[in-house]
Amino acid sequence: MFKIIDRYIIRKFLTTFFFMMGVIMLLAIVFDVADKLGEFIEKDATFYEIVVEYYFNFILFYGNMFSSMIIFVSVIWFTAKMAQDTEIIPIWNSGRTFSRFMRPYMIAATFLMIISLVFNHFIIPHSNKTRLEFEDKFYRRTLSAQNYHAEYPGNEIVYFKSYNGDNKVITGLTIEKWNNKGELTSFTKAGSAINSPGSKKWTLFNYFQRQVGYPNDIISQGKEKDVTFQFSVDEMAMRENIAEAMDFFTLRNFIERERSKGTSMVPTYEVELYQRTSYPFATYILTIIGVAVASRKKRGGIGINIALGLGIIFIYIFAMKITTVAAINVGLPATIAVWIPNLLFGGVAALLYRNAKR
């Protein structure tokens, strides 16, 4: 059963969080509009496309991404203000423990954490699909790829030299099929190739094909030929942030398929998947740190607490970047990499919590 003080703190927590979220997102939109307005006008983007398809989803994506940081600043802000206004001292004098004082904070943090988890795994990916399509249409550079190499199921190895998103043409396409004994069974090479949109049907130009067999190989070549492969150009030439538009189940299956192909981007996709859980759980850690730091009245006022809070956020972001780079470039398992900052700052939160109880 909630006491008056519980309802008061929860209300202060949530109203401060949503107010700060609104202010920060408004500033982000202003800077983003200033940067991209010229391209929107040049490419005739409509008001509906800009506001609904882009900026609505922009707010969902970036607001949710930085929600744990905004929660931390919010906790620091209103708790420090309560301390400066001598609202916390009567709570201590009434005999409440620090653990009891923390209860409404953790209730509000749990509410926001659950929302963030659901948004991260199931809602944001679908909104990101609309946002990324808008970006591709109005201001992203043409998608291209070079020196692609992957192994598809069935021991099918695919290479190509380059892909140009303007004309949708792949150059230097080579496909090799091998059996389980390590013997080549077929070889296909084309000077260029085009994939029919939304399908796995291809047209090869200036092609050469060889079917290895006993006693004689079957060789064919020509200027043009229609074929069907098990892959499409969409999964060969992809943007690095393609995983942002996939929900939990789609992304998990996508990672397994990319791993079977030997794609070097697998660690990046794994980091994206695991961060969707680790970021929301950081809400608990940052809430505890925020309350422990800001609940004591300080001579410097709220400014000291805000400065200290921002310093902790910068260190946390720096730690996340280091571990992410280690996962992508050094080989550190993605599961460990995304949780290391939470574990480190969880230790800091435990230490500050213990000292605050005294």
pLDDT digit string, tens, across residues 100-109: 899 999 999 9
Position with higher pLDDT, 130 vs 298: 130
pLDDT at position 205? 96
Whole-model pTM? 0.85
pLDDT tier at 113, thresholds 50, 70, 90: very high
- Strand partners for 188: 175, 209
| Mean pLDDT for the chain overall | 89
Cis peptide before 215 (omega within 30 of 0): yes
Does the pLDDT value for residue 279 go beyond 80? Answer: yes
Which band of pLDDT confidence, cut at 50, 70 and 90, is reported for residue 303? confident
Tell me the pLDDT band of 299, cut-offs 50, 70 and 90: low
Q: Considering the chain, what percentage of its residues have pLDDT values greater than 90?
A: 58
Separation in Å, CA 72 to CA 78, 121, 288, 294, 322: 10, 22, 9, 11, 21
Extents of the domains making up the chain? 4-139+265-357, 144-238
Cα 340 to Cα 332: distance, rounded to the nearest angstrom: 11
Higher-scoring residue by pLDDT: 198, 78? 78
Confidence of residue 125 (pLDDT cuts 50, 70, 90): very high
Single out the residue of 61, 171, 77 nearest to residue 123, CA to CA.
61
DSSP H or E run through 310: helix 302-325
Asked whether the predicted pLDDT for residue 209 surpasses 90, the reply is: yes
Residue 341: which pLDDT band, with cuts at 50, 70 and 90? Answer: very high
